[in-house]
Amino acid sequence: MNILVFLLQVLAQTLSIYLLVLLVRVLLSWFPNLDWSNPVLSSVSAITDPYLNAFRGLIPPLGGIDLSALVAFIALQLAQSLLGASIATLSGGLPY
C-alpha cells in the first residue's frame, strides 16, 4: 500500500509542476512578439499544446479570447483534488 501512496504522491507532484508549466505557457501567449523557435519556449509549447489543443477542440474562441486554457486549468485542479483525496484515504491521514 505504501508503494501505491508513493506513486500517487509522485503523480500529484507531477501535476503541480505541469500546472506551473501550463501557467507559464498561458502567460507567455500574451506576448505576441516572442520567438517561439527559442528552445526553451518551443519545449514549453511542445509540452503543453497537446493538452490545450484537446480543450480548444471543445471550446471555440469567444470574441478572440481562448477560454480553453481556463477549462484546462479547472480539469487539472479537479484531477489534483481527486488525487489528493485518494492519497488521504489510502494513507489514513492528510493528503500529501
In a domain, 96, yes or no: no
Q: Where are the alpha helices (DSSP H) in 1-96?
A: 2-28, 39-56, 68-91
Total domains in the chain come to: 1
Q: Which long-range contacts (CB under 8 A, 24 or more apart) does 66-71 make?
A: 69/22, 69/26
pLDDT of residue 46: 95
Query: pLDDT tens per residue, the chain (96 residues)?
Result: 689 989 999 999 999 999 999 999 999 988 889 898 999 999 999 999 999 999 988 888 888 788 889 999 999 999 999 999 998 888 876 555
Instruction: Examine residue 70 and state whether it is found in any structural domain, yes or no.
Output: yes
Residues spanned by the domain of 62: 2-91
Q: Does 80 fall in a domain?
A: yes
Alpha-carbon distance values, 95 to 5, 82, 87, 91 (Å): 10, 10, 6, 8
pLDDT at 64: 76
Confirm whether 17 is domain-assigned: yes
Domain membership flag for residue 49: yes
